[in-house]
Amino acid sequence: MKKYIFLILIMLILLAGCTGTGPGGAGNLSMDQVQMYAQQTMTAQASGSSGGLMIRPVLNTPASSGSGMTVISTPDYGGTITRPVYNPPTATPYSQYPYYQPQQPQQQPTNSYAVPNYAQQVNTVCERMRFIEDVTVPDNTQMQPGQIFRKVWRIQNAGSCAWSSGYQLIFAGGDAMGLNYGVNIPKAVAPGETVDISIDLTAPNAYGTYQSLWKLRSPAGNIFGTSNSENDAIWAKIVVGNSQNIATVAPGVVPLNTGCTLLSVVPAYRASFKRGEETDFIFRVRNDSGFMWDTENMDIAYIGGENMLKRKDQVRKDLPMDVAPGGTLKYALDAIVPSTPGVYTMTMGVVRGYEVLCSMDVTVNVVL
């Protein structure tokens, strides 16, 4: 045991001689300190706490700034150990390099840029109509000579301007069929809306196919149809035949009813007149229908042929008096014959709504 302790003391003495800090250091351990550490070691061994050298804590503290050294403090030994340490160099920021260019943040794509529009812009004209359907009297409806019928079209305002009730449907060519003046549309029509327009027409007396053309006219006098083309009108097209070849009768069309007898007419048949001469047409007709012709429900109407009325628009008037069955009706009309030489016939009638109760003709010869 004493031999072992002696070896320990020798080692401590050798260590004490090697722990100097060199020039400027804290100095060497004294013999008193060596003996004190040896005594503490023996005490610890006797108590069985360590079984060997007593281990003291070592405290590391940095040396002065920029020295590149670290000081290790050993408080129980009364000295310090100074050793060099490695301090890595500080990296130079990229911004200090002469050719450094900071990266610009990328902008997120947006939808605010203009996209080319390759579609042709369509400009809607102010006044235009579009045909929708024939409500009554479809094309090639067969009728009897002189038959009165009501033609109804459904059209749409296809323009950008509203129509007032001052807009008119006017005759635009073809066969007049008893009506060659304008009728007002029944209501105001906004763009895109539809309207039903009706006119009363009369089938000609001669057999054949007839077509009457119609367009719209604004209060300002602008005439327009369904397109910019020449054939842009709407029309009524009928086929006039005898009772044996009439196949169909359109809704609203009533066959001719001859419930009367024409007693006399002035002027006489094919009387001669100068071109454009004014005259009176006078009719005497007997009621053979078997019921009363009353002024509330009956009218005198122009129903076909050449319109020789002095007032072309007065194609329908109230019956001037009630006529009982078997009674006689006499009435006169202001007339003016055509300005072109030829033979002309006008047909008048007693009507109830759109039913012809009685018809009568007057025929004149226009000379040079």
pLDDT confidence band for 65 (50 / 70 / 90): very low
3-state secondary structure 77-115: HCEEEEEECCCCCCCCCHHHCCCCCCCCCCCCCCCCCCC
pLDDT confidence band for 1 (50 / 70 / 90): low
* Domains along the sequence of the chain with CATH: 2-61 (no CATH), 129-240 (2.60.40.10), 260-367 (2.60.40.10)
pLDDT confidence band for 216 (50 / 70 / 90): very high
Residue-wise pLDDT tens digits, 92-146: 565 555 555 556 655 555 544 444 443 344 456 889 898 889 999 998 898 888 8
As a whole number of Å, the end-to-end CA separation of the chain is 174
Residue 24 has pLDDT above 70, yes or no: no
What pLDDT was estimated at residue 352? Answer: 84
Structure letter (DSSP) for residue 244: T
Lowest mean pLDDT among 63-67, 161-165, 170-174: 63-67
Between 277 and 230, the higher pLDDT residue = 277
What pLDDT was estimated at residue 208? Answer: 82
Q: What is the CA radius of gyration of the chain?
A: 62
Share of the chain above pLDDT 70, in %: 60
pLDDT confidence band for 74 (50 / 70 / 90): low
Task: Give the number of C-alpha atoms closer than 13 A to the C-alpha of residue 2, restricted to the C-beta side.
Answer: 0
Beta strand 328-336 with 342-352: parallel, antiparallel or unpaired? unpaired
Cα–chain center distance at 173: 36
Six token digits for residue 184: 């007002």
| pTM greater than 0.85 | no
**Nearest C-alpha neighbor of 361 from the set 279, 317, 311, 305:** 305
Q: What is the DSSP string of 142-178?
A: EE-TT-EEEEEEEEEE-SSSPBPTT-EEEEEEE--TT
